[in-house]
Chain A
Amino acid sequence: MSRSEGTVAQAFPSIDAPAVPVAASNALAFPRADAREAARLALLRDLHLAFRKRGQLVQPLAFFAMVTLLFPLAISPELARLRELAPGVLWVGALLGSLLALEFLFRDDAYDGTLEQYALSGQSLTALMFAKTLAHWLLTGLPLALMAPLVAISLGVATTAVPGILLSVAIGTVALSLIGSIGAALTLGIKRSGALLSLLTLPLSLPVLIFGARATQLAIHGASLVAPLELLAALAILGVTLAPLAAAAAVRISLE
């Protein structure tokens, strides 16, 4: 029964050896959680953790508020001019704010072995990644979308533009979170990955920036913003279908 050589000492417990008397085979059975339950818990876990350390939660929002409110000071307090600049200011702020939080998306989970447990859970890693990205959007994208109309009003935009701005930032940040999740997963194994993450994520985010700013501009002018909004939604849907798959694959590579 000697199968091999080499420096490694081998052990051969015979398969047919009388093992310890085995109890009923269903002793190893337990009620498994389905994929939806698993994704729900992964989402809740991230929300729970975020509310335990609120400092990280406020960071992107504070950044967004600061950037957008510094513009009037730097350019001019003239409302007509600010109104023209508002879409660009809003979107650059939202893009950078969302990017800021991205670094934390998987980092802690990678350090403490949570990602490893996710990858070995027998559940769909894609579904778990989607849940994590959804949590990220709820914690950064959604608050940014809710804040954007306030900032817009402070830049002299009429309140009639509020629904359009809210909607475009909300949909746009979904796409940003999803694009970002791929970058965050790809840069997992790298120390101080912030710069690389921006380099990877920003070019892919440009379509969102362009269509988002366009939608906001149309909303401010009271025109129909259906066209850019549809394109934003298309980007978000493309992200929903592809990004979790890519993120899951990248996470598996980083775990090796």
Chain B
Amino acid sequence: MSVERLEVENLHLWRGERHVLRGVHFALARGACLEVCGANGSGKTTLLRALCGLAYPEEGQVLWNGENVRRDLPAFHAALAYLGHEAPLKADLTPRENLHYWIGIRRRLDDAELAAALTRVGAHEWSERQVRTLSAGQRRRVALAGLALLPVPLWLLDEPTTNLDAAGRELVGDLIREHLSRGGMVVAAVHQGLPQSVHNVTRLDLAA
């Protein structure tokens, strides 16, 4: 089995007249975490979207196990989980139903696992309420439950701690730590920094 690793070479991306990504490069091995820091508008989200293939960089490439990800995007996508700054939830469905459909599209899921994930993020009490009635922090917790159900090698997280209380931020730390310890990789765009409990973190600063 090949050893998973993510390498990014000299990534350049323009948004109209703006040169957003200016030669970003890094490498990430199993069990390692990259913390992408930078002011608002410095291109953190753009970098994550370029990594997962949603945005097309003008120059440079993203390598997964030594191969350009563009050569086999579906295989790369099967190996990653991307969490944007909005939780991908339907306001008219309950957290349980949301996870059933969202995560079920990627993996087989039984009710016990789903319930365990919801309990883990503290959502068991309101797992039958429609998402429209939940607070932003509660929605974020549901999104984290989804992440916990996807133990794919690479997690790409955009501001995973937004809207969360102290306990919620610790939960993010726990999830990331657990993921790293089982050999996963994490790239997290963070504004305030990851919780202290996460080790083996490398920092990448994007200039505005």
Contacts and interface: CB of A to CB of B under 8 A. Distances in A.
A27 B75 contact: no
A25 B152 CA distance: 11
A120 B25 contact: no
A13 B105 CA distance: 34
Interface string B19-47: 00111111111111010000000000000
A123 B106 contact: yes
Given A32-B78, A41-B105, A49-B92, A11 B34 contact: yes
B93 A48 contact: yes
Given A33-B104, A123-B105, A6 B26 contact: no
B32 A19 contact: yes
A101 interface: no
Contacts of A5: 23
Interface of A: 3-17, 19-23, 25, 27-33, 37-38, 41-42, 44-45, 48-49, 52-53, 108, 112-114, 116-124, 128, 255-256
A16 B32 CA distance: 11
A44 B101 CA distance: 8
Decide if the interface of chain A is mainly helix, strand, loop or mixed.
loop
B31 A20 contact: yes
A9 B35 CA distance: 12
Interface centre among A17, A22, A49, A108 (most CB of B within 10 A): A22
Given A20-B180, A23-B181, A37 B34 contact: no
A124 to B, nearest CB: 7
Contacts of B183: 19, 22-23, 25, 27-28
B143 to A, nearest CB: 9
Contacts of A37: 104-105, 108
B108 A12 contact: no
A49 B93 contact: yes
